[in-house]
Amino acid sequence: MSVTVKVPAKVNLQLGVGPLRDDGYHDLVNVFHAVSLFDEVTAAPGPLAVTVAGASIEGVPAGPDNLAARAARRLADHLGREADVSLHIDKAIPVAGGMAGGSADAAAALLACAALWEADVPFETLLELAADVGSDVPFALFGGTALGLGRGERLTALPCAGEFHWVFALADGGLSTPAVFAECDRLRAAFEQEASWPHESPDLLAALASGDPKALGAALTNDLQPAALSLRPSLARTLAAGREYGALGGLVSGSGPTCAFLAADAAHAAELAAALDEADVARTLVTATGPVPGAHVLP
Ligand SMILES: C[C@](O)(CO)[C@H](O)COP(=O)(O)OP(=O)(O)OC[C@H]1O[C@@H](n2ccc(N)nc2=O)[C@H](O)[C@@H]1O
Ligand SMILES: Nc1ncnc2c1ncn2[C@@H]1O[C@H](COP(=O)(O)OP(=O)(O)OP(=O)(O)O)[C@@H](O)[C@H]1O
């Protein structure tokens, strides 16, 4: 018997970063949006092991350090049982790309193990266990569009009308999330910018609620973008090309280096992806839609 869970990537529509906390994290105003790029995680009985397959999986640990294995151990601890599960990850979400691929696999592993072990774990408890594994993990269970406060783990669903069409420009190599947060702090100190408490953007929330892509494109913001650009200056060219070829909006996704561009509809997304491909400003271009549901067991 085995259980397979499908889990989406995310893009951050607003990422407001507050001051550094004593525990090494930053308080965030994090508007998450789940998009149709998916990993699949399959759990089967056996000694704890992780295998990974996919076209671009360099740097993904196969073994106990994989976030999926950490999630399985966290659930096993909670249930007071052995983490006797063999996990296989089929990866399509870019690695270290700012789209929460590892967090997605952790969320999928929690759900797959709960089903495999026939453990009746309430959704609220799964969200708490998810937050112990990483700040982005609860949202991968939650899906849709949501506001994340605290480290990003305190979630509230946001109204979102219709479907948005995205183009993702994937970069060569990843960026380390802690390094990008540290660069954000360094830049703020260097330019004597006081980190203020972020607030939800009313324009962004209104654009989501009305399903207006033009308004959403104009309201996208990411406080980590200057830090990602500082560590990876070539992203400035990618973002400029998106603007030049008519994206309704564009930004670095989370800690980067993936850049996300909003299109008016499916045809516009395909055109934009082709133009950016031709301009040679990214390793590869993929189109996706959002919002999509969070992690779920496949029949
Ligand atoms: C950039 C985002 O992807 C936006 O959704 C997330 O904030 C990152 O979430 P994540 O990858 O799950 O990050 P975690 O594994 O929880 O934390 C990794 C490291 O990122 C930094 N970190 C993360 C989240 C947060 N709110 N403040 C931080 O400063 C800390 O240095 C932390 O040690
Ligand atoms: N299942 C996994 N998939 C990808 N990376 C993993 C996984 N488990 C552990 N890792 C490690 O975590 C690092 C970051 O991977 P991930 O793909 O989650 O980054 P990310 O998408 O930038 O994350 P986020 O958007 O949450 O900041 C990888 O470089 C790898 O060393």
CB-defined site of ligand 2, < 6 Å: 59-61, 66-68, 89, 95-103, 105, 136, 174, 177, 254-255
Ligand nearest to the Cα of 70, by number? 2
What HEC string does the chain produce? Answer: CCEEEEEEEEEEEEEEEEEECCCCCEEEEEEEEEEEEEEEEEEEECCCEEEEECCCCCCCCCCCCCHHHHHHHHHHHHHCCCCCEEEEEECCCCCCCCCCHHHHHHHHHHHHHHHHCCCCCCHHHHHHHHHHHCCCHHHHHHECEEEEECCCCEEEECCCCCCEEEEEEECCCCCCHHHHHHHHHHHHHHCCCCCCCCCCCHHHHHHHHHCCHHHHHHHCEECCHHHHHHHCCCHHHHHHHHHHCCCCEEEECCCCCCEEEEECCHHHHHHHHHHHHHHCCCCEEEEEEECCECCEECC
Q: What is the residue range of 182's domain?
A: 164-290
Q: Tell me what pLDDT residue 42 has.
A: 98
Please identify, by atom number, the ligand 1 atom nearest to the C-alpha of residue 26. 27
Boundary residue ending a domain (124, 158, 192) = 158
Residue 206, domain CATH: 3.30.70.890
- Same domain? For 209 and 99 the reply is no
Numbered residues of the known binding site for ATP: 94-104
The pTM score is 0.97
Please check whether residue 295 lies inside any domain of the structure. Answer: no
Please check whether residue 152 lies inside any domain of the structure. Answer: yes
Boundary residue ending a domain (112, 132, 158) = 158
Using pLDDT thresholds of 50, 70 and 90, give the confidence band for residue 195: confident
Ligand 2 centre to CA of 8 (Å) is 14
Numbered residues of the known binding site: 94-104
CB of 287 closer than 6 A to ligand 1? no
Please check whether residue 67 lies inside any domain of the structure. Answer: yes
Boundary residue ending a domain (138, 158, 178) = 158
- Same domain? For 116 and 177 the reply is no
Q: Tell me what pLDDT residue 192 has.
A: 84
- Which of 10, 39, 105, 223 is labelled catalytic? 10
The model's pLDDT over 119-163, given as tens digits with 9 standing for 90+, comes to 999 999 999 999 999 999 999 999 999 999 999 999 999 999 999
Please check whether residue 296 lies inside any domain of the structure. Answer: no
Give the residue, by CA position, lying nearest to ligand 2 atom 2. 102
Q: What is the total count of domains within the chain?
A: 2
